[in-house]
Amino acid sequence: MVTFDPRKAKANRKKHGVAFSDARLALDDPLGLTREDWSEGEQRFVTLGVAVGSILVVTWTERHNQIRIISARKASAGEAKHYGN
């Protein structure tokens, strides 16, 4: 199950133009890449995947056996080069 804070989702959409409801689709991309990230003091993951015709960067964590989306944005050109490799 994928969850998120509705207020954070609204702020993310305003800032990055990406809805968390769309970002969750990138997590299911069979060609997506996921790496672990501890930069914020907790275990997080960053996934590069396609959803709604764009390559997205989705940051998420696991809480109570659920995926919780933290942020989502369109991939930069440099990040997009890694997709599918």
Q: What pLDDT, on the 0 to 100 scale, is given for residue 16? A: 98
Model-wide pTM > 0.85: yes
Q: What letter would DSSP give residue 16?
A: H
Q: What pLDDT, on the 0 to 100 scale, is given for residue 9? A: 98
Q: What pLDDT, on the 0 to 100 scale, is given for residue 74? A: 98
The C-alpha atoms of residue 38 and residue 70 are separated, in whole angstroms, by 14
Using one digit for the tens of pLDDT, what is the confidence trace for 10-46?
999 999 999 999 999 999 999 999 999 998 788 999 9
* Token digits of residue 62: 């696991």
Owner of token pair 């672990």: 36
Beta pairing class for 66-74 and 2-3: parallel
- pLDDT at 70 exceeding the cut of 90: yes
CA 49 to chain centroid: 8
Q: What pLDDT, on the 0 to 100 scale, is given for residue 85? A: 63
Q: What pLDDT, on the 0 to 100 scale, is given for residue 45? A: 98
Spell out a b/e string for 41-66, using b for 16 or more CB atoms within 10 Å of the CB, else e.
eeebbbbbbbbeeebbbbbbeeeeee
- What are the residue ranges spanned by the domains of the chain? 2-73
Residue 60's pLDDT band, with cuts at 50, 70 and 90, is very high
